[in-house]
Structures are given as C-alpha cells and as structure tokens.
Chains A and B, each alone.
Chain A
Amino acid sequence: MPEPTDIRSGLVCVGLNYKTTPVEVRERLAFPEAQVPAAVEQVRGLPGFEESVVLSTCNRVELYATHALPSGKDGHAALREYLIERFELQPEHAEALVLYNLDSAEAARHLFRVVSGLDSMVLGETEIFGQVKAAYKVALDTGTTSRSLNKLFQQAFTVGKKVRNETTIQRGSTSVGSVAVDLAEKVHDLKECRVMLVGAGEMSRTCAQSLLSRGAKSIIVSNRSYDKAVELATEMKGRAMKFDEWEHSLHEVDVIISSTSAPHFVIKPEQIDQVMRKRRWEPLLIIDIAVPRDVDPAVNNIEGVYLYDIDALQAIADEGRRERLRQLASCERIIEEQLEKYGFLKSPGSGGLKLA
C-alpha cells in the first residue's frame, strides 16, 4: 500500500442523509450489515484510493476515504460513480441523486458533528456514536484503514466524548417515549419496574417499548379488544389481561400507561387511594396519553402518585429539545477548537485547507 496522503488534503466524504434524501431512496442505497466489509474493500480498491470506511444507518449512508487523486472533486466523482454502480441506479435515479461532497476540514467537521449527534434527526442522540464506532471497526478489521483514517476516527471519538462531557447536549428527553422512561427511572429502579398498558394505542406501545428497551421488568396489556391485547403482549413478551380485570391488578404494577378511547375518566382518585394502601405507599407513576384524558387529575394529589398527561409529557419533551438547541453553539465551538487543534483549520499557506 502506498504511503497514506496527508489526512488534511486527501480526505473525502460523500454521502446522503435524512435531510438530503427521502427514505424511499435511502433504503435503496443502504448497505446491508453483512455487505459492509465487501463495500469498504470495493471503495479502497477504486483507482487512487487508499483507505475507506462505510457508515450505513437508517438515517445516512456515508463513505469516508483518503485518496491520492489530483483533486477532491475527482474523489467525489469516483465515489458517486461507485454508489450508482453498486446499487445499479437507473439513469434518471442516478441523475436525481443528491449527495454531499466534502473535503478535508469539511469532511472532518462533518464526521465530528455526526459522532457528537449534532447531525442526527434527534439532536444529541447517542446511538450514532456506537454506529460510527461499529462502522470503523468493520473497516479496521477488514484492513481498509491506515494511519490517516485511524487517526481521524480516533480524533472523532475523542471529540464526541468531549462534546458529551462538556455540554448537556444529550440530556433531557425529546420525545414522549423518552420522557416516560426518564420519569420511570426517577421513580423506580427500572430493572424492578412492572408496567401496565391500559389500552393498546400506538403512543402507549411506543412508551412501553421504550421502557422495555431500557430494562423494565415486565408488562401487562389490557385492552377492550382482548385479541389486540394478546397480540401486543406477545410482541412485547408480556401478559394480556381482559379489560374488566385490569383494575384488580393495579396494585401490582409500578407504571401505568393509559390510552383508552373512553369519553370519561377510567382511573379515579378513590381507586388509586385503595391501590396505594395495598402497595404500602410504594410510588406509582401514571402516564395518561389519552385524549380525552383517562385519569382524573385529582389522582396527582394522592401521596406517592405521580401523574403526567400528554400535555405535561409534551411540554417536557419540548423543553428538552429547546435545551439541546441552546447547547448547540457550545458543541460547535468545541468542534471548531478540536479541528484547529488537530490541524484542519490551518491557513492554506501552512499546508492545511481553507474552510468552505
């Protein structure tokens, strides 16, 4: 293998993401996990290319590479051609394909932003960090990275950690499901947490899935249509319960997610008062995502009961998003500092590259 080029001059990134490309095109251009090792070898094998990493997630497909071609534009064109050929795009689709073409400092900045969650659909989300790490590991194991990309990706992981440690970009919840999880975590130890769904709407399913994915112990599903309850309970490895029985089991659960279509309150203070006595005052979180509401607001006055309706959850999620947006400037500043520290922002005369 030839000696790698200067990372600041031979680095390119070509890609598409949820901002540039609709899902029906993204899904056509996604690399199945098993095919990524072959893909990184194919990219590295392109004429003039030296190293490659392929990042393919549901929200983005990005090719990072270093090359010894005369210009960055040549690198971009080669990678674009590769994608068109690899996915056998028809000429009209190939022509309509919108890709971002980034060089050196721009490419490094983009990678740093991606790793830090700043380019994600949910600002500050942390899953992308693991996805980039996994993509890099595949390339490393396949042997398509060398000094330049190894250094770049290690720098990116350092920057990602720095952004998360020095700002609160990942803190707070930005969706109703994650608010439910945050609340449950602050009331109970999630591993011991038993959840009951009263009504099997889409939103309650999302909340329950979020809780289960974070380790909730068990789930009971009760719905007017027993078949639907069984279906959802089976999907979530929980237990279905007939709709006329759920009241008798309220004291056995720690989180109630209610989303029935009843036009009146189905959970009332006198019921919960009895439940709390049976629970010996162990705290109870009630998430009411039904409209009209299922739970009488007076329930929140009972000691040890914490009631959140859809507006309360939405307000917390909105505040979480605002808080993350407030952190954005600090994150960008850290990234710029790190780009400078790693030599990406030197003036053209000193061997680096100018910013776009």
Chain B
Amino acid sequence: MPASQQLLLAATLIFVGALVQALLALKAGAWKQARAQFFLMALGFALQTGFIYLRGEEVRQCPIKSLPDILVFIAWSIVLLYFLVGPAFRLSLLGVFTSPLVTLMQVMAFTNGFAPYKPKGPINALVELHIALALISYAAFALACITGVMYLVQERMLKRHQIGGLFYQLPPIQGLAHAIQRLVRLGLLLLSIALGISFALHLPMTKTGHVIFAWIVWGLYAVISLLMWKHFTSPRKTAWLAVIGFILPFISLWIVTHA
C-alpha cells in the first residue's frame, strides 16, 4: 500500500476512534466538549492533509479528478469547516455527527480504489480553483446536512419530552436552525464563485457534465436558501431540506465521475 493510502487508512481509523470515544463519553455521561474528541479530529485532519499532499505528488496535479479523490477532498473540507464553524456557531457535538460521515466517505474512497491519473498538460490555476471551491461548497452543504440531523434529533427530544444525556449536550434548536441557514448560504456563495470562474473560463455548459450538475445543485440550494430567508417553511422542514438536499450533490459526484 502506498504511503499516501497508509495515511488515509490511519486517518479513517482515527475518525472511527473519535466516534467511539465520543459515544463512550456520552454513554458514561462524562462528555465535556471533549478535548480528546478535538485532538482526535485534529490528528485525523493532519493525516488527511498528508494524504492529499502525497497523492498530489503521485498524480502530479491537484488530486480532485477521480471519485475516490473527490470524496477524500470533500471529507477533508468537512473537517476543515468543522474546525472553523463548530466553535464559531457554538455547535457542541458537531464532531460526533461529523466523524461518521467522514469515515463513510473515506471507506467509499478505499472501496473504489485510487487509480493513477492520465498525464495532463500545463496546470490552469483557475480550473483547479474552480473545482476546489465547488468541492468545498459541497462540504459546507454536508455540514448543513449534519447540522440538520442534529436539529431533528434535538427537536424530536423536545417534542417528546425525552430529556436525557444527548439533550443536555446538543445546542439550542434556534442556534442549530441559524447554523443550517448560514452553512447553506456559505456553500451557495462558494459554489457561486466556482460557477463564476467557469464563466470566466468559457467552459461550455452543455458539454461539461459536472458544470451542469453544479448548476442543478446551485439551483436546489438557492431555492432552499430562499425558503429559509423568507421563512416560507418551518425550521423543521428546513432541516429536512438540508438533510435530503445533500443527496443530490452526493449522487451528482458519482454521475459526473463515472460519465
């Protein structure tokens, strides 16, 4: 196994460890914004970064052209945003909900295998930026999805009067609802910039599958954002939209990389 994949395997195991540690701490009722959880997530992130660096060296370009590489890049972006968003939005337990998704994406990447890339011509920085921004926007949508799950869990406990261990650790539902809105807006902004770059690059929309899908995803989240902004739907429905909405970008990645 190449060194890059060894790092990724280690990162995956670390994220599994972070999840197990968090679940055990929650079960024991000793969850204290767990420093251990933060440390494990940071370690996993460092290993992910190492993988992306070594993989880039192997394929002699930014490793975001095949589905497994894209999945890892999004997983890396999710953890990056977790560090940026979690403390800023005071979203305790975000790591507990993030680590399963990141683990799943990395396991899927391993299942698909990391094939060598075709040699390519000179690197166009704008193209790389366009792709990277689009993928980071997908990571923001992924975090909106995770926050949506947290909202639905907390909302259910409040409605059913199930005041238990997890209830005390999750943030207030109003804060979660606002975090979903901000994450969707952040993702939409990043995707808008990525699509703006595609205009600058004169990428023909009809002949470039991933741009078409990116526009579809943009349209979906623009509608979700509008519904949130104008309060056309309740926060609960908005949370459901953020959760279900993420299925589309997830599927689109698979389609565009296999087309």
Contact = CB atoms under 8 A, between A and B. Distances in A.
A217 B163 CA distance: 24
Contacts of B167: 186
A320 to B, nearest CB: 8
Given A187-B173, A304-B235, A171 B168 contact: yes
Interface in A297-356: 300, 303-304, 306, 308, 312, 315-316, 319, 327
A168 B30 contact: yes
Interface stretch (B51-59, B63-71, B153-161, B181-189): B153-161
A166 B32 CA distance: 10
A231 interface: no
B258 interface: no
Given A167-B29, A304-B235, A189 B174 contact: yes
Interface string B212-251: 0000000000000000000101111100000000000000
B168 A312 contact: no
A282 B233 CA distance: 11
A87 interface: no
B170 interface: yes
Interface in A164-192: 165-168, 171-172, 179, 182-183, 185-189
Instruction: Please indicate which of the listed interface residues B168, B170, B175 has the most CB atoms of chain A within 10 Å of its own CB.
Output: B168
Contacts of B234: 281, 303-304
B164 to A, nearest CB: 8
Given A168-B29, A171-B168, A183 B174 contact: no
B172 interface: yes
Contacts of B29: 167-168, 171, 327
A186 B30 contact: no
A74 to B, nearest CB: 44
A167 B168 CA distance: 14
* Majority DSSP secondary structure for residues of B touching A: helix
B158 A306 contact: yes
A280 interface: yes
A269 interface: no
Given A168-B30, A171-B29, A306-B159, A187 B235 contact: no
Given A189-B172, A306-B158, A316 B163 contact: yes
Contact of A281 (B32, B158, B231): B231
Contacts of B236: 303-304
B218 to A, nearest CB: 25
A280 B231 contact: yes
Nearest to A190: B172
Contacts of B32: 165
Nearest to B164: A319
A172 B172 contact: no
Contacts of A281: 231, 233-235
A19 B159 CA distance: 39
A185 B177 CA distance: 14
A167 to B, nearest CB: 7
Interface in A140-174: 165-168, 171-172
A186 B173 contact: yes
A187 B161 contact: no
Interface string B30-61: 10100000000000000000000000000000
Given A283-B173, A306-B159, A186 B154 contact: yes
Max chain B C-beta neighbours (<10 A), residue from A172, A186, A319: A186
B172 A316 contact: no
Contacts of A166: 30
Nearest to A165: B32
Nearest to B162: A316
Nearest to B170: A186
Contact of A283 (B161, B168, B174): B174
Determine which residue in B154, B161, B231 has the highest number of CB atoms from chain A within 10 A of its CB, and name it.
B161
Contact of A316 (B30, B161, B175, B233): B161
A171 B174 CA distance: 22
A211 B78 CA distance: 37
A170 to B, nearest CB: 11
Nearest to A173: B163
A171 B26 CA distance: 13
Contact of A282 (B154, B161, B174, B175): B174
Interface string A259-285: 000000000000000000000111100
Contacts of B30: 165-168
A166 B31 CA distance: 9
B158 A319 contact: no
A16 B165 CA distance: 35
Contact of A172 (B168, B175, B235): B168
Interface string B141-163: 00000000000001000110101
Contacts of B235: 281, 283, 304
Contacts of A306: 158-159
Nearest to B31: A168
Given A189-B174, A306-B158, 17 more contacts: A165-B30, A172-B163, A172-B168, A179-B163, A183-B158, A186-B168, A187-B158, A188-B172, A281-B231, A281-B233, A282-B174, A283-B174, A303-B234, A304-B235, A306-B159, A315-B161, A316-B163
30 contacts: A165-B30, A167-B29, A168-B29, A168-B30, A171-B29, A171-B168, A172-B163, A172-B168, A179-B163, A182-B163, A182-B168, A183-B158, A183-B163, A186-B154, A186-B158, A186-B167, A186-B172, A186-B173, A187-B172, A188-B174, A189-B174, A189-B175, A281-B231, A281-B235, A283-B174, A283-B177, A303-B237, A306-B159, A308-B161, A312-B161
The 3 closest A-B pairs by CB, nearest first: A168-B29, A280-B231, A303-B234
